[in-house]
A and B are shown apart, each in its own frame.
Chain A
Amino acid sequence: MSASQYRIVQSSGASRIAAALGLIVLALLVLAPYWAGRADLRLLGEVLLYLSLASLWNLLAGYAGLVSVGQQAFVGLGGYALFGLTMFGGLHPVLAVLVAGVIGGLVAMPVAALIFRLRGAYFAIGTWVMAEVFRLSAAQVSALGGGSGTSLPTPVVQSLADGRDAREALSYWLALAMALLALAVVYGVLRSRNGLALTAIRDNELAARSLGIDIWRTKFTVYVIVGALTAATGALLFLQKLRISPDAAFSANDWTAFVIFIVVIGGIGTVEGPIIGVIVFFLLRETLADLGTTYLIILGMFAIGVMLLAPKGLWGMVRARSDIQLFPLRRKVVAKPKD
């Protein structure tokens, strides 16, 4: 047989069914402002923004091996950029979200150049220190309320859309768009040449370097993309909250601990993992949140349980039984049917 008798397939039966189901879910989500109550809509918006954060952190840590515990630096940066740009730059909030993303990407470049010098645990610590520096800096900006923060002025809020319902719907749709964008970018990166390079680096750095992969540049690209999208997500999170303070914006608990929980529970290093994880996390939160601190203890125990019983997360458990991929990344060589 000659090579021309083979072709490459990426989709599978499961992925086509998943795509069809995904479209139905997407339609339901797009229409949510028409069927969901105000509280549910807010919750859904938050779920979607967490999905964005989790997918991005998964790309960073699960694929690029950049285990950052300081992504709150970019969430907070995005939030503060939104407030600054709308309050003092006169930008429309939606435009400000986009600009916040660009700022996130630009800031990620020098940050990467600095922290990429650190290895392993030192890298993680470096990212956290960086986030603390950001938080302390934000507290110095008296125009944005210094350490106690500020609220988004009513005119800015009203410029978003006419009437509260329209504003809440728009804010929700922006969250939905953000989650879709993050998923699409993560999936797109992983299917690209860069995605192959990331997986190769993860498997064998020596071979990767010898086959032409510039490890630093590959990881730098991922870090900047993730920084940009995380900042845009941060801007949307605080567009929902309408109030910002350094402690809320740069919260390691809210924007890193919970996000890591989601990714690890769902399955790190898989596109599907964060989706599963975010559903599980919010189910737990909504049913147990009334328990106060006990809720956090249960969350921790749950995480430990999953890590012991299914080290690759819930989606990893599924993958161990079948080679199913809802977002196919494998490229299979198949023989063309003879004609």
Chain B
Amino acid sequence: MSPILRLDQVSKAFGAIKVADSLSYELAAGEALGVIGPNGAGKTSMFNLITGTMAADSGRLFLGSEDITTLSAPRRCRSGIARSFQVPQPFGGMTVFENALVAATQGADMALGEAEEHCLDILEQTQLMAKANVPAGKLTLLERKRLELTRALCARPRVLLLDEIAGGLTEAECGALVETIQSVHASGMAIIWIEHVVHALLSVVERLIVIDFGRKIADGEPRAIMTSSQVQEIYLGIGANA
């Protein structure tokens, strides 16, 4: 089967810092891919490159069979790529429901009536219905993370990008979020998930890649990767359970 997303030798540098160094990989339809790597490795930059808020210096990106390398960020979203931001970016003056509506009417290009139905369904799934009428600026951190997920889902993507969505949450909050993401994945959505909370990540993804200095240094079965010497080495430095 042809991949839903393909990065081909994607590179990007800021001066001497390489945030993406000949990055290549494929994401199969319906696959859940985890991404780990030290801080500053270029994980968020990789999402910026995929979503088009950052332009690659070289290399190509494909969504399905379409070459999206030169498409603008809004066009890529409309083609089927939606993300959550590591630092939540809510439309603070709009309510949670209105935030969702923006994604459905723009990203998914739905008419208002259809969008309202869709957003209600997603709010139910992400357990934010109780906050539907609350201005997004007034949400707690957990709620903001859920709103990031909600908005991305309302855009009805083919590929969902999650950036450290479990970071900073309590154990219980994280567990509830994992369940939601599992249900999204079970519906057949392809997901790339950047996460430092490794146990949360491993309960969802079936494949893991490791990024360091913008390079992909490992790619494969999650448990095998986590126990590989290369990953042990990187994580030893930042004190994770080595």
Give the CA-CA distance A330 to B94 in the complex, in Å: 9
- A8: CB under 8 A from chain B? yes
Closest to B101 in A: A196
Known: A3-B123, A197-B102, A333-B129. A204 touches B109 (CB 8 A): no
| Beta-carbon contact of A3 and B78 below 8 Å | no
Task: Tell me which residues from 183 to 216 in chain A have a Cβ below 8 Å from any Cβ of chain B.
Answer: 192-193, 196-197, 199-200, 202-204, 206-215
Known: A3-B121, A203-B94, A204-B89. A214 touches B74 (CB 8 A): yes
- A154: CB under 8 A from chain B? no
Known: A193-B106, A331-B101. A3 touches B120 (CB 8 A): yes
Give the CA-CA distance A208 to B106 in the complex, in Å: 9
Give the CA-CA distance A119 to B83 in the complex, in Å: 28
- B69: CB under 8 A from chain A? no
Give the CA-CA distance A27 to B170 in the complex, in Å: 60
Chain B CB within 10 A, most for which of A6, A197, A211, A214:
A211
| Beta-carbon contact of B74 and A207 below 8 Å | no
Which chain B residues lie closer than 8 Å to A196 at the CB level?
94, 98, 101-102, 105-106
Known: A206-B53, A210-B73. A199 touches B94 (CB 8 A): yes
| Beta-carbon contact of B72 and A214 below 8 Å | yes
Which of A197, A204, A210, A332 touches B77 (beta carbons < 8 Å)?
A: A210
Give the CA-CA distance A212 to B104 in the complex, in Å: 9
Which chain B residues lie closer than 8 Å to A6 at the CB level?
120, 129, 132
Task: Tell me which residues from 206 to 240 in chain A have a Cβ below 8 Å from any Cβ of chain B.
Answer: 206-215
Number of B interface residues, CB 8 Å?
43
Give the CA-CA distance A197 to B105 in the complex, in Å: 9
- B219: CB under 8 A from chain A? no
Interface code B163-197, partner A: CB below 8 Å = 1, 0 otherwise? 00000000000000000000000000000000000
| Beta-carbon contact of B77 and A211 below 8 Å | yes
Interface code B34-47, partner A: CB below 8 Å = 1, 0 otherwise? 00000000000000
| Beta-carbon contact of A211 and B133 below 8 Å | no
Which chain B residues lie closer than 8 Å to A210 at the CB level?
51, 53, 73-74, 77, 82-83, 85, 89
Q: How far is the CB of A257 from the nearest CB of chain B, in Å? A: 28
| Beta-carbon contact of A211 and B123 below 8 Å | no
Chain A CB within 10 A, most for which of B82, B102, B108, B155:
B102
Q: How far is the CB of B127 from the nearest CB of chain A, in Å? A: 11
Which chain A residues lie closer than 8 Å to B133 at the CB level?
332-333
Which chain B residues lie closer than 8 Å to A2 at the CB level?
124
State the B residues within 8 Å of A (CB): 51, 53, 72-75, 77-78, 82-83, 85, 89-95, 97-99, 101-103, 105-109, 111-112, 115-117, 120-121, 123-124, 129, 132-133, 151, 155
State the A residues within 8 Å of B (CB): 1-4, 6, 8, 192-193, 196-197, 199-200, 202-204, 206-215, 330-333
What are 30 pairs between A and B in contact, CB < 8 Å? A3-B117, A3-B123, A193-B106, A193-B111, A196-B94, A196-B105, A197-B105, A199-B91, A200-B91, A200-B106, A202-B93, A203-B92, A204-B90, A204-B91, A206-B53, A206-B85, A206-B89, A207-B85, A207-B89, A207-B90, A207-B91, A209-B53, A209-B72, A210-B89, A211-B82, A211-B151, A211-B155, A331-B97, A332-B133, A333-B129
